[in-house]
């Protein structure tokens, strides 16, 4: 009887996404709805998970509305948030006109929403840095390029923070949080570069079987998380990483210098033109007197 009940329940429990938004945000929701459905499925596939729970996407107009929706204060830089226990994604639409920014944010949160399909005990066993690193890796693009460059220089001198500092969360202080997000992203990308595109799915499979992330790392990679973090730090502080950071900074500096020089060039050309005009006028007057 229980098996029959579960089979019946699997038919009537909704799967996929439901949408909540005020009428004023309907155009934004309709513009991204089909894409969001596809991303939701892609996230589950990438993570090696099945869609076992429905998810709700709630679009709101402002940061304050987002805080009201989740029921507590949020860091000022949050553009979206996922509440795993409610299978809820709340997203501010203020940046919807910047489609690339909005899409990256949507992909990031979809990874969080997909991971909420895991058993609560398994989900809760994962450190905060891993959750965020996975979400950023799935997003495929972040806005932390400058922070990664800063980490490369600090890694060169062994001064980057440790991932254990972000075991529980990232806090409300922006610079500390930015360090954590950048470091978490780099670590998960390191897993994927060193151990293949299925690295995250393989780790999660082990965690779902009741192993800790440390045990999963030893099983999948033969290395502890501490060893992998040390390897990541060595790569981050390597000559190639620092050189790439330097190239980016040189390009940025060149752009800034060129922008700073524009007014000087304009003034210099104007002075030269005035001098030439004055000289031409003086020569014309001499010709008239001669």
pLDDT tens-digit profile of 38-55? 999 999 999 999 887 789
Asked whether the predicted pLDDT for residue 271 surpasses 80, the reply is: no
pLDDT for 172 equals 85
Q: How far apart are CA 182 and CA 130, in angstroms?
A: 12
pLDDT for 174 equals 85
Report pTM: 0.77
Q: How far apart are CA 141 and CA 261, in angstroms?
A: 32
CATH code, residues 8-243: 1.10.390.10
> In the chain, where are the structural domains located?
8-243, 244-284
pLDDT tens-digit profile of 207-248? 999 999 999 999 999 999 999 999 999 998 886 756 665 554
Q: How far apart are CA 165 and CA 233, in angstroms?
A: 15
Strands across the sheet containing 80-83: 16-20, 54-60, 88-92, 80-83
Question: Do residues 161 and 183 lie in contact, with contact meaning Cβ atoms separated by under 8 Å?
Answer: yes
pLDDT tens-digit profile of 130-177? 999 999 999 986 654 444 447 887 877 888 899 999 999 998 888 888
3-state SS track over 73-116: CCCCCCCEEEEHHHCEEEEECCCCCCHHHHHHHHHHHHHHHHHC
pLDDT for 146 equals 46
Asked whether the predicted pLDDT for residue 273 surpasses 80, the reply is: no
pLDDT for 264 equals 55
Asked whether the predicted pLDDT for residue 12 surpasses 60, the reply is: no
pLDDT tens-digit profile of 55-104? 999 999 999 999 999 999 998 889 999 999 999 999 999 877 788 889 99
Beta-bridge partner residues of 59: 91
Joined tokens for residue 65 = 């509305």
Confidence of residue 270 (pLDDT cuts 50, 70, 90): low
Residue keyed to tokens 């220089």: 153
Phi and psi of 60, rounded to 5°? -130, 165
């Amino acid at each position: 009887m229980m098996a029959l009940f579960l089979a019946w329940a699997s038919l009537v429990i909704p799967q996929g996404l439901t949408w909540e938004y005020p009428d004023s945000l309907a155009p934004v929701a309709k513009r991204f709805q089909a894409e969001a459905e596809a991303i939701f499925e892609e996230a589950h596939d990438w993570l090696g998970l099945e869609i076992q729970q429905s998810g709700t996407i709630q679009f709101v107009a402002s940061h304050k509305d987002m805080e009201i929706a989740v029921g507590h204060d949020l860091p000022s830089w949050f553009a979206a948030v996922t509440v795993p226990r409610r299978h809820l994604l709340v997203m501010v639409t203020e940046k919807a006109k910047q489609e690339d920014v909005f899409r990256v944010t949507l992909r990031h949160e979809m990874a969080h929403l997909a991971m909420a399909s895991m058993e609560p005990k398994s989900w809760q066993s994962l450190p905060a840095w891993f959750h965020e690193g996975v979400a950023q890796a799935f997003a495929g693009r972040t806005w932390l390029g400058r922070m990664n460059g800063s980490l490369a220089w600090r890694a060169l001198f062994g001064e980057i923070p440790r991932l254990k500092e972000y075991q529980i969360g990232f806090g409300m202080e922006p610079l500390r949080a930015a360090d954590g997000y950048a470091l978490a992203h780099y670590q998960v990308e390191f897993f994927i570069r060193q151990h293949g595109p299925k690295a995250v799915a393989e780790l999660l499979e082990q965690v779902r079987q009741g192993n800790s992330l440390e045990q999963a790392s030893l099983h999948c990679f033969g290395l502890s998380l501490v060893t992998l973090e040390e390897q990541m730090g060595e790569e981050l502080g390597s000559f190639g990483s620092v050189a790439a950071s330097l190239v980016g900074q040189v390009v940025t500096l060149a752009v800034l210098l060129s922008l700073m020089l524009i007014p000087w060039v304009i003034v210099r050309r104007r002075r030269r033109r005035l001098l030439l005009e004055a000289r031409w006028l003086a020569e014309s007057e001499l010709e008239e007197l001669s």
